Every structure is written in structure tokens, then in C-alpha cells.
């Protein structure tokens, strides 16, 4: 899988929007961009994914750059429960059952 | 509740013990995974099973032995472990769909080897 780069940590205030960046300059045309998050003492949970167009769901929005070399996960109103490690991962769109490789991720701290 | 249940949640074992970790998924998925997460390290993929067949073994030592009797159950048999094997062991499942697969994780088993 192609590599992604994320900041080690970010901080936000409660009820403010959070923009979590991810760089993936070696992304291939068939790679999907996936985001997972891991709350303390839990397994990771799926957040959102996309290929080319921006995506929205009940948890977050995903903004994908036009050249697809970067993306941004947007939490519209951060809550204390959003404090977690956020992982940006690329998945090959031409194979299934392949490994999901986690990097270091971004540790998000939400201040009350 | 993610639909993936792992037992036990915590396990303490000596280096000469034999124990097993259990994972069960209620989502009708056809792929299951074992991951290891050591303190302050990224998750490491250990094993992948597609349709009950092992498709990936990420150079895991033989003291870890996986078993997948059916698409809903996955075991990790442990024997003669080392203290450095202490970690959070996570099970996940997915429905095989190129690029669009979503993994669903259990809460993990926190293993301590004394």
C-alpha cells in the first residue's frame, strides 16, 4: 500500500470544527482513501472513505484534493468523545482481503 | 457494539502456559484478521483469513497459532510466549470488496506475559 503522512498530534476545542490533514503523494489511481479512529482502550473504528469526490456521513466529512495527493478529515463540531488517534490509510481498489496497514496516526486532543 | 466480540478482555499468563484468544463476528463477513498492538506502536497485521483459508501470515513466530473453523469464528492459540509478546490483540472482520472494504474491530484482548 502507498504511504501516508499525518501530523503526530493536533488539538482542538470542544464544539469547534477540526481539520485533520493527510498527505499521500504516491497514491495510485485505484487507491481508496480510508479513515479510521481508535478511542482509548478500544479497537479502531471505521470513520469514512472515498475515491475522488468529497464524502459526508453522520460522523465526518472527507475532502479530497483534486490531484488526490492529499485529503482532509473534517469533524464539524468536536466533542470530548472525539478524542482519539485518527488513521489515514490507502486501500488498493483492485484487490480485496488485502492488508490494512496502520501508521502512527494523529492523536487528537479535544479541550473542554 | 461493533458486532465483533473478543474474549477474554484481559489475560495474564506465564511463559509456560497455553491459552487461546477467541473472536466471534455476527456480521456475516467472509474475512477475519488478527492484529497486534504493542504499547506506543502502530497496529501490526498478524494473520488474514479469507473464506476460512489463511491468506497471509506476516512472519509471525510459531508460538502464535491461528485457527479459523468457520467464517464467524477465529482463534489465536498461544504457547511458550515471551514477555515482549505482551500487547493488545485485536480481531477484525470484513466483507471482501476491493477498495471499499470496511474493517470492524473487536475491543481486543489485553495480554500480559509474566
Rounded to 5 degrees, φ, ψ at B45 are -70, 135
Instruction: Give per-residue burial for A28-54: e unless 16+ CB within 10 Å, then b.
Output: eeebbbbbbbbeeebbbbbbbbbbeee
Region B55-82 average pLDDT: 93
CA distance B75 to chain A (A): 17
- The partner residue sitting opposite B99, judged by closest CB among A32, A103, A104, is A32
- Using CA coordinates, name the residue in chain B closest to A103: B42
- pLDDT of residue B107 exceeding 80, the answer is yes
How do residues A31-75 score in pLDDT, each as one tens digit?
899 999 999 889 999 999 999 999 999 999 999 999 999 999 999
Query: pLDDT confidence of B110, banded at 50, 70, 90?
Result: very high
- The partner residue sitting opposite A30, judged by closest CB among B92, B99, B107, is B99
- Cell numbers representing residue B66 in the block: 491461528
Cβ–Cβ under 8 Å, residues B52 and B67: no
Residue B103 to residue B111: CA distance in whole angstroms:
22
Distance of CA B76 to the CA centre of its chain: 6
pLDDT computed for residue A98 by the predictor:
58
Cβ–Cβ under 8 Å, residues B105 and B1: no
Q: Which helix (H) or strand (E) holds A89?
A: strand A84-92
Report the candidate in A53, A19, A24, A48 with the shortest Cα–Cα distance to residue A36: A48
Within 13 Å, how many C-alpha atoms sit on residue B82's CB side?
A: 4
Contacts of A90 in chain B (CB under 8 A): none
pLDDT computed for residue A1 by the predictor:
57
Q: Is residue A68 less than 8 Å (CB to CB) from chain B? A: no
Cβ–Cβ under 8 Å, residues A2 and A51: no
Q: B38-42, B61-65, B79-83: which has the minimum mean pLDDT? A: B38-42
Mutate to test the interface with B, among A1, A44, A103, A107 (most CBs of B within 10 A): A44
How do residues B21-47 score in pLDDT, each as one tens digit?
999 999 999 999 999 999 878 899 999
Handedness of CA A108, A101, B66, B68 (dihedral sign): positive
Amino acid at each position: 500500500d502507498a504511504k501516508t503522512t499525518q501530523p503526530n498530534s493536533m488539538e482542538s476545542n470542544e464544539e469547534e470544527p477540526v481539520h485533520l490533514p493527510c498527505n499521500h503523494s504516491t497514491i495510485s489511481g485505484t487507491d481508496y482513501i480510508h479513515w479510521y479512529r481508535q478511542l482509548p482502550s478500544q479497537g479502531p473504528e471505521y470513520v469514512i472513505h472515498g475515491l475522488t469526490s468529497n464524502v459526508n456521513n453522520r460522523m465526518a466529512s472527507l475532502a479530497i484534493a483534486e490531484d488526490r495527493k492529499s485529503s482532509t478529515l473534517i469533524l464539524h463540531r468536536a466533542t470530548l468523545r472525539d478524542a482519539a488517534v485518527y488513521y489515514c490509510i490507502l486501500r488498493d481498489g483492485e484487490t480485496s482481503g488485502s492488508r490494512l496497514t496502520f501508521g502512527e496516526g494523529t492523536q487528537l486532543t479535544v479541550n473542554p | 457494539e461493533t458486532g465483533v466480540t473478543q474474549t477474554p478482555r484481559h489475560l495474564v499468563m506465564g511463559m509456560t502456559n497455553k491459552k487461546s484468544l477467541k473472536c466471534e463476528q455476527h456480521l456475516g463477513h467472509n474475512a477475519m484478521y488478527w492484529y497486534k498492538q504493542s504499547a506506543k506502536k502502530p497496529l501490526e497485521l498478524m494473520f488474514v483469513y479469507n473464506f476460512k483459508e489463511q491468506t497471509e501470515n506476516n512472519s509471525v513466530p510459531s508460538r502464535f497459532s491461528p485457527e479459523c473453523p468457520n467464517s464467524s469464528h477465529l482463534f489465536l492459540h498461544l504457547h511458550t510466549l515471551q514477555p515482549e509478546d505482551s500487547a493488545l490483540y485485536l480481531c477484525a472482520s470484513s466483507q471482501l470488496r476491493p477498495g471499499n472494504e470496511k474493517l470492524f474491530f473487536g475491543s481486543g484482548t489485553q495480554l500480559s506475559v509474566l
